[in-house]
C-alpha cells in the first residue's frame, strides 16, 4: 500500500504538462484563481508525487501515508490538477473550482478534498503545521515523511523562522521543505515588496541541510527530492528556483498573473503553447 511510483523522467514531464493544462482550464472556468504560482510549483510537486511520496490514490486517507502540506494554499489549482492526474479528483471536480460546494475550493482545505493534508489560509502557517505532523509521526513510531511547500514571499512571515528554529531543535529529520523561489508575490516582485536575501543561507543558519536547484529541470528536481528523502539527521530544505507562470510565455515572470485567471483569448493562446 502506498509504494512510491518511481515514474520515468518522460512520464513526469508529460504529467506536469497535463497539470499545466488543467490549471489553466480550471482558473479560466472560475474566472478567478492563482495560475502563476501554480505553474511555477507544479514540476516540483509532480516530481515528489511521482517518485518518493508514499501516497495511495485509492485510499487518500491512508493513515501512514507521507504528508504533503501546501502552505502556499492559494496555489490550489496545482494541487487539484495533480490529484486529477492521479485519479483522486475527476473532471467535474476540477471544473467546479471555486464554486459553492465544490471539493476544489479557492484555498486547499482538508475538510473538502480527498488527498489534501492541510487547510490553508493566512501564509506562514504550513511549516508549523508540518513540524507538528513530523513530531507526531515520530511519537507514533511511523516512518512517514512530511513535505511542506512554501512560497518565497511567504518567508517574510516570522512564523516560518520560528518553525525553522524549532524543527532544528527537535532534529525533525522527517520534515522536508520545498521553497518555490519564483521571485514574485501578490503585488510585485519579492525584491520590490521586501527583499528576502539568501534563503538558503538563512535555513543553514538555523541548522538545516539545504540544496538549491533549478525547479524546472526534472532530472535535477528528482535527484534533490531523492536526496532529501534519505536519512539525514535533521530537517531539509530544497530551494527550487522557478519561474512564475512557467510554460506560458505571456505569464512567465509576470506579476499580473499571480491572481488573475486567463480570459478566452489568453486560454486559447496558452493551450496552443502547451499542446
Q: pLDDT digits over 116-139, tens only?
A: 999 998 899 999 999 999 999 999
Q: Which domain holds residue 115?
A: 9-274
Domain containing 28 — which CATH number? 3.40.50.970
| Per-state percent for the chain, helix, strand, coil, to nearest 5 | 45, 10, 45
**Whole-number Å distance between alpha carbons of 174 and 257:** 34
Sheet holding 67-70, edge to edge: 67-70, 146-151, 175-181, 236-241, 209-214
Residue 200 lies in a domain: yes
Evaluate if residue 66 carries a pLDDT over 60: yes
Determine whether 112 is exposed, middle or buried from the number of CB atoms within 10 Å of its CB (0-12, 13-18, 19+). middle
Domain count along the chain: 1
**Whole-number Å distance between alpha carbons of 44 and 12:** 10
Cell reading at 48:
515528489
Residue 3 lies in a domain: no
Cell reading at 164:
525553522
Q: pLDDT digits over 138-159, tens only?
A: 999 999 999 999 999 999 999 9
DSSP state of 215: T
Q: Work out the pLDDT band at 231, boundaries 50, 70, 90.
A: confident
Residue 1 lies in a domain: no
Evaluate if residue 13 carries a pLDDT over 80: yes
What's the distance, CA 155 to chain centroid?
A: 15
- DSSP bridge pairs for 175: 146
Residue 2 lies in a domain: no
DSSP state of 252: T
Q: Work out the pLDDT band at 1, boundaries 50, 70, 90.
A: low
**Taking the CB of residue 97, how many other CB atoms lie within 10 A of it?**
27
Can you tell me whether residue 260 is helix, strand or coil?
A: coil
Residue 154 lies in a domain: yes
**Whole-number Å distance between alpha carbons of 134 and 151:** 20
- Give the whole-number percent of the chain exceeding pLDDT 70: 99
Amino acid at each position: 500500500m502506498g509504494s512510491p511510483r518511481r515514474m520515468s523522467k518522460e512520464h513526469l514531464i508529460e504529467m506536469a504538462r497535463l497539470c499545466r493544462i488543467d490549471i489553466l482550464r480550471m482558473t479560466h472556468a472560475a474566472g478567478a484563481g492563482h495560475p502563476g504560482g501554480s505553474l511555477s510549483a507544479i514540476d516540483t510537486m509532480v516530481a515528489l508525487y511521482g517518485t518518493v511520496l508514499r501516497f495511495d490514490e485509492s485510499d487518500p486517507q491512508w493513515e501512514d501515508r507521507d504528508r504533503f502540506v501546501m502552505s502556499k494554499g492559494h496555489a490550489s489549482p496545482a494541487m487539484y490538477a495533480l490529484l486529477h492526474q492521479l485519479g483522486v479528483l475527476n473532471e467535474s471536480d476540477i471544473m467546479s473550482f471555486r464554486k459553492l460546494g465544490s471539493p476544489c475550493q479557492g484555498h486547499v482545505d482538508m475538510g473538502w478534498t480527498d488527498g489534501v493534508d492541510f487547510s490553508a489560509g493566512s501564509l506562514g502557517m504550513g511549516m508549523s503545521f508540518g513540524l507538528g505532523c513530523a513530531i507526531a509521526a515520530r511519537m507514533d513510531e511511523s516512518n512517514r515523511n512530511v513535505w511542506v511547500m512554501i512560497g518565497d514571499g511567504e518567508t517574510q512571515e516570522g512564523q516560518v523562522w520560528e518553525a525553522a528554529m524549532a524543527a532544528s531543535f527537535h532534529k525533525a529529520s522527517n520534515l522536508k521543505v520545498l521553497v518555490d523561489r519564483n521571485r514574485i508575490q501578490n503585488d510585485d516582485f519579492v525584491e520590490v515588496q521586501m527583499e528576502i536575501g539568501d534563503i538558503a543561507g538563512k535555513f543553514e543558519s538555523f541548522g538545516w541541510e539545504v540544496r538549491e536547484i533549478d525547479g524546472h529541470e526534472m532530472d535535477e528536481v528528482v535527484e534533490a527530492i531523492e536526496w532529501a528523502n534519505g536519512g539525514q539527521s535533521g530537517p531539509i530544505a530544497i530551494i527550487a528556483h522557478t519561474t512564475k507562470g512557467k510554460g506560458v510565455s505571456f505569464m512567465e515572470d509576470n506579476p499580473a498573473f499571480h491572481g488573475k485567471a486567463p480570459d478566452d483569448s489568453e486560454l486559447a493562446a496558452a493551450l496552443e503553447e502547451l499542446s
